[in-house]
């Protein structure tokens, strides 16, 4: 096991020789973080934000244009991939097509000269854990996407490296298997505690597995924090709307001093927020409120909305509505949840109560969080 430390890692792509006119493109910029020994960190962010590039750089498959990388107390800038003792699960599996599943699982162990008996035991354990023990004689081409993904995961787990780098390792599994494998991964990590960096699009995976989450956008770190902190105190609109399903509702509004004007409706501004916003009366803001902090109200509440879509989810109903506006193009969508027995019908006009102490205020231009009551 080992710490993994990135110090100002930047990776540029494109012609470095200048022979072609291709412009350089910066995939990741000044990435700095340290994963303590044995911790589980998740990298999240929209497609193309640089998650795989970071993992590939740690694995030694990409060379950083600048910055330093440490695994344990060793600077590995010049250390080739095979000597870094990291195991990576690739987004596209990267299994050896000519080898059987068993041979794929054994490959890393053979390279490290693990003795045959031990090799067999480890492969059997991992294959059982990932429910691929009946597939050991098949070749990757004879497997489904989800099965290939489990073999790729098994190959990394069997190696017992110093560091795991997992690039969306569960993305092709069906819902049940995904839940099971996620729980299994958590269990495995609790048992062996190998330092792990995990890339995912799935916020449930990030929230449930990670000690810390790193949120990325356009190649730069936006926020690092514990899952609950990232969720409840997002540093920007982008983070607020990225984590959470359905995402935080965002409503354009004008601050009037003691209240926000939201599409012709008035929403009182909590006093603690007023203090933060005082210098900027009359300006536009983006207001944020999570769906779980809106409630249907029998009496006139804070906001009046028109129901547009009703999605029963079993235990609860996800309701989508619009704040009435002069033209339908201006109408603002808003989502909230309610109990099935309270569910309104499409076309109904209803009142919502807003938990005012859960409001967020974002800068319209930069998206930065300007204030929330809990901070
Ligand atoms: N070899 C390359 N040459 C040029 N650009 C590249 C190369 N590899 C990656 N990029 C660019 O760098 C950026 C980051 O790519 P990366 O694969 O790290 O994104 P990602 O966050 O893993 O996205 P996804 O969620 O879609 O897998 C993207 O804009 C991508 O097009
Ligand atoms: Mg990727």
pLDDT at 247 over 80: yes
Q: What is the CATH number of the domain that holds 201?
A: 3.40.50.300
**Same domain flag for 149 and 291:** no
Tell me if 55 CB under 6 Å of ligand 1: no
Q: How far apart are CA 154 and CA 138, in angstroms?
A: 15
More confident residue, 183 or 36: 36
Q: How far apart are CA 312 and CA 315, in angstroms?
A: 8
Cβ within 8 Å of residue 298, ≥6 positions away: 351
Per-residue pLDDT, averaged over 298-317, amounts to 92
Give which of 106, 124, 7, 121 is closest to 54, Cα–Cα.
Answer: 7
Tell me if 92 CB under 6 Å of ligand 1: no
Q: How many domains does the chain have?
A: 2
Residue 329's pLDDT is 61
CA-nearest residue for atom 27, ligand 1, is 47
**Same domain flag for 58 and 90:** yes
Domain that holds residue 296: 249-372
**Same domain flag for 190 and 293:** no
pLDDT-derived band at 180, boundaries 50, 70, 90: confident
pLDDT at 325 over 90: no
pLDDT at 310 over 80: yes
Tell me if 48 CB under 6 Å of ligand 1: yes
Residue 19's pLDDT is 57
Residue 60's pLDDT is 96
Pocket test of ligand 1: the residue of 16, 25, 198, 242 to mutate, having most ligand atoms within 8 Å of its CB, is 25
Residue 358's pLDDT is 93
Residue 20's pLDDT is 58
**Tokens in use for 250?**
């965002």
pLDDT at 22 over 70: no
Residue 96's pLDDT is 94
CA-nearest residue for atom 20, ligand 1, is 48
Atom of ligand 1 at shortest distance to CA of 27? Answer: 12
218 CA to centre of ligand 1 in angstroms: 10
**Same domain flag for 145 and 218:** yes
Q: How far apart are CA 288 and CA 285, in angstroms?
A: 10
Q: What is the CATH number of the domain that holds 363?
A: 2.40.50.140
CB 254 within 8 A of CB 260: yes
In a domain, residue 125? The reply is yes
Per-residue pLDDT, averaged over 318-325, amounts to 91
Last residue of a domain, one of 186, 208, 235: 235
CB 44 within 8 A of CB 216: yes
Last residue of a domain, one of 235, 260, 290: 235
pTM over 0.95: no
47 CA to centre of ligand 1 in angstroms: 8
**Same domain flag for 208 and 307:** no
Q: How far apart are CA 2 and CA 39, in angstroms?
A: 9
In a domain, residue 316? The reply is yes
């Amino acid at each position: 096991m080992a710490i993994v430390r990135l110090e100002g890692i930047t990776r540029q792509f494109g012609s470095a020789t200048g022979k072609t006119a291709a412009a350089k493109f910066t995939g990741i910029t000044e990435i700095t973080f340290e994963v303590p020994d044995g911790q589980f960190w998740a990298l999240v962010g929209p497609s193309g934000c640089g998650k795989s590039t970071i993992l590939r750089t740690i694995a030694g498959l990409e060379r950083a244009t600048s910055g330093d990388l440490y695994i344990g107390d060793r600077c590995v800038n010049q250390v080739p991939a095979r000597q870094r003792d990291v195991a990576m699960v690739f987004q596209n599996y990267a299994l050896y097509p000519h080898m059987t599943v068993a041979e794929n699982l054994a490959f890393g162990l053979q390279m490290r000269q693990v003795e045959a008996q031990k090799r067999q035991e480890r492969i059997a354990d991992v294959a059982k854990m990932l429910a691929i023990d009946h597939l050991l004689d098949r070749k990757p081409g004879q497997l489904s996407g989800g099965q290939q993904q489990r073999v790729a995961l098994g190959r990394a787990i069997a190696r017992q490296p110093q560091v795991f780098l997992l690039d969306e390792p569960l993305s092709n599994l069906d819902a049940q298997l995904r839940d099971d494998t996620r729980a299994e991964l958590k269990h495995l990590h609790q048992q062996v505690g190998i330092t792990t960096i995990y890339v995912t699009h799935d916020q449930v995976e990030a929230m449930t597995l990670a000690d810390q989450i790193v949120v990325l956008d356009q190649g730069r770190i936006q926020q690092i924090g514990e899952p609950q902190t990232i969720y409840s105190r997002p540093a920007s609109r982008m983070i607020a709307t990225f984590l959470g399903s359905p995402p935080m509702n965002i409503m354009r509004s004008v601050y009037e001093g003691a209240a926000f004007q939201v599409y012709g409706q008035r929403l009182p501004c909590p006093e603690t927020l007023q203090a933060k916003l005082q210098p900027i009366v009359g300006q536009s803001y983006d207001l944020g409120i999570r769906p779980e902090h809106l409630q249907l109200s029998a009496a006139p509440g804070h906001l009046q909305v028109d129901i547009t879509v009703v999605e029963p989810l079993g235990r609860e109903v996800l309701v989508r509505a619009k704040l009435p506006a002069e033209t339908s193009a201006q109408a603002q969508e808003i989502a909230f949840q309610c109990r099935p027995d309270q569910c309104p019908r499409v076309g109904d006009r209803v009142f919502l109560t807003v938990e005012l102490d859960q409001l967020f205020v974002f800068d319209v231009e930069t998206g930065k969080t300007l204030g929330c009551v809990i901070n």
